[in-house]
Chain A
Amino acid sequence: MHAFLEYTVTGLTVGSFYALVALGYTIVYGIIRLINFAQGDLSMVGAFLGWTLLVSLGFEHLPIYLAVVAAFVIPMLGTAVINLGILQFAYKPLLRRSLLAILITALGMSLLLQNTVLLVYGPSINAYPPNLLPTTGFYLGPVHVTYVQTALVAVSLLLMGGLVLFVQGTTIGTAMRALAQDHDAARLMGINVDAIIRVAFVLGAMLAAASGVMLGIYYIQIQFTFGFLLGLRAFTAAVLGGIGNIPGAMAGGFLIGLLEAYTTGYVSGKWEDVIVFAVLIGVLVVKPTGLFGERVAERM
């Protein structure tokens, strides 16, 4: 029982990273039916931008709150700009062409981001400052929870809450939901569809970058390759929750995180991906709309 609870805490922590990346997949898919395969790599780019600030530029020596806020906000903005560039130059010319062309382009963008980071930062592992946040923790009943875990899950929940408020409570958010249904009808409301697509790309990139910085803080070590597997797991989470569905992406992220933690704990870390991707295949075969989705994810 004790071990189970420990795994659960780990699973929820890692799951919150997956949830953030999965939200990016789901927001973009909801609006333009594109699986933006660069989503995981945007997270990786965010992690490297955060590393640059904290380590290369020495932000780690600043007061802790300032350092943490800067290490989140600046990579989120930087990654948003990169994603807007990808949208403008790679996806936009293809938006009215075949979905296959744009999907392959998305895979290309994933490779482009990986190789750019490889060129800039090199192939070696870069390390986040290990003592950025207090490394101690507290006991929640019998389970030891670190302050890092608490802080990271809290930030994730804050970002998710902010996203839900934005999508449900603002007119721009309402327009995003309308676009998921009917682009032409949205145009006839006076909605600038291109601008709303840009908003979706900015949101997706910011969530991904935040998850990347969190991964860096949590795992300490980052490498240019980590975005690929992260992206696939988050994609599985989005599909599990029902792609296009925002609460689904969050739930899917936490479920995949838990699944991964239990697999590592009870079976072996080597089986993580086997189990996670078996779930992806299982969902696609048995319930392609996912746990919460109503729409058929027909174009993946």
Chain B
Amino acid sequence: MALLEVRDLHVFYGNIEALKGISLDAEPGQIMAILGGNGAGKTTTLRTISGLLRPRSGTVTFAGRSIVGLEAHVIVGMGLSQVPEGRRIFNVLTVEENLNLGGYIIRSSRELVRTRKASVFKLFPRLAERRAQLAGTLSGGEQQMLAIGRALMSEPKVLMLDEPSLGLSPILSRSVLKTVREVANRGTAVLLVEQNARQALAIADRACVIETGSVVLQGDAATLAKDERVQKAYLGGFEAVASG
């Protein structure tokens, strides 16, 4: 049994069915890339797993326990952390305060917060330099580092990232994704939603493609990268040029 199992998830916005039976798994130490166009349901999938949205039916099982219907903050406490789309860092707080909030569930142990902050600073030395700066004044790349670092503060067993490379230069997005790979290598299960399919497939172990709320393809990242349909839809010539 996988660490995180999503089965037959149906989610509605009003009368509109956004997810029409999504199923996927996440395993420790592996990256599962979730690909698909705009509005396919990638973000909805992550928000549902995180507890920000309630599915109409379907199950989400984490370490053998159903987490559907639990409050979002409880799910974080169990070890599932999300870096939301658009980073959503707290602009009005300093870099360090953002990280402190990332460690909100371990706030009773100042020592633990301090050591985790130190390891985030080791992963992203740029954040250490700017720890007292307001997060809103950081560059896009630094904000993304902060968003990831903030999510790592709770040392999640499952890390979900929603378009971490959005708005970053090709060089920066490669470096962010490299870091994601390092995090996975330490034993974290990663769900990676990416619009840059080429770079995502390069670092992922497995991948799935979502179209209009359903999983249409699922398999090894390497196999999917060679799949004709994936190449045509997500790894087209223009994309190859654009992402260098």
**CB-based contact A182/B90 at 8 Å:** yes
With A171-B107, A187-B73, A188-B84: A181-B90 Cβ-Cβ less than 8 Å: yes
B142 close to chain A: CB less than 8 A: no
A193 close to chain B: CB less than 8 A: yes
Question: A181, A186, A192: which contacts B92 (Cβ < 8 A)?
Answer: A181
Q: How far is the CB of B131 from chain A (nearest CB, A)?
A: 14
Residues of B within 8 A of A177 (CB): 90, 92-93, 97
Q: How far is the CB of B15 from chain A (nearest CB, A)?
A: 19
B82 close to chain A: CB less than 8 A: yes
B123 close to chain A: CB less than 8 A: no
Q: How far is the CB of A46 from chain B (nearest CB, A)?
A: 31
With A171-B100, A171-B101, A180-B92: A188-B81 Cβ-Cβ less than 8 Å: yes
Which parts of B64-94 form the interface with A (CB within 8 Å)? 71-73, 76-77, 81-82, 84, 88-93
A184 to B107, CA, bound (A): 19
How many residues in A have their beta carbons less than 8 Å from beta carbons of B? Answer: 18
Q: How far is the CB of A188 from chain B (nearest CB, A)?
A: 5
Question: B51, B71, B104: which contacts A189 (Cβ < 8 A)?
Answer: B104
Q: How far is the CB of A298 from chain B (nearest CB, A)?
A: 18
A3 close to chain B: CB less than 8 A: no
**CB-based contact B84/A174 at 8 Å:** no
Which parts of A170-228 form the interface with B (CB within 8 Å)? 171, 174-175, 177-178, 180-182, 184-193
- Name the residue on B nearest A179 (C-beta): B90
How many residues in B have their beta carbons less than 8 Å from beta carbons of A? Answer: 27
B36 close to chain A: CB less than 8 A: no
With A174-B100, A175-B104, A192-B71: A185-B92 Cβ-Cβ less than 8 Å: no
Type the 1/0 row for A89-103, where 1 means its CB is closer than 8 Å to any CB of B: 000000000000000
- Name the residue on B nearest A178 (C-beta): B90
A192 to B154, CA, bound (A): 15
Q: How far is the CB of A20 from chain B (nearest CB, A)?
A: 24
**CB-based contact B104/A171 at 8 Å:** yes
- Name the residue on B nearest A182 (C-beta): B88
Q: How far is the CB of B113 from chain A (nearest CB, A)?
A: 8
Residues of B within 8 A of A175 (CB): 101, 104
Residues of B within 8 A of A192 (CB): 71, 73
**CB-based contact B104/A191 at 8 Å:** yes
Type the 1/0 row for A148-176, where 1 means its CB is closer than 8 Å to any CB of B: 00000000000000000000000100110
Residues of A within 8 A of B81 (CB): 188
Which of B51, B72, B89 gathers most chain A CB within 10 Å? Answer: B72
Question: B52, B77, B93, B101: which contacts A184 (Cβ < 8 A)?
Answer: B52
**CB-based contact A184/B104 at 8 Å:** no
Residues of B within 8 A of A185 (CB): 84, 88-90
- Name the residue on A nearest B77 (C-beta): A190
Residues of A within 8 A of B107 (CB): 171
Which parts of A32-86 form the interface with B (CB within 8 Å)? none
With A171-B107, A184-B52, A185-B84: A191-B92 Cβ-Cβ less than 8 Å: no
With A174-B97, A177-B93, A178-B93: A190-B88 Cβ-Cβ less than 8 Å: no
19 A-B pairs whose Cβ atoms sit less than 8 Å apart in the complex: A171-B101, A171-B107, A174-B93, A178-B93, A180-B92, A181-B90, A181-B91, A182-B88, A182-B90, A187-B51, A188-B76, A188-B82, A189-B76, A189-B104, A189-B154, A190-B76, A190-B77, A192-B71, A192-B73
Interface pairs A-B: 9 shortest CB-CB: A190-B76, A187-B72, A185-B88, A190-B105, A171-B107, A178-B90, A189-B101, A192-B73, A190-B104
Question: A171-B101, A184-B88, A185-B88 provided; 9 other pairs, C-beta below 8 A?
Answer: A177-B92, A180-B92, A187-B71, A187-B76, A188-B72, A188-B82, A188-B84, A189-B101, A192-B71
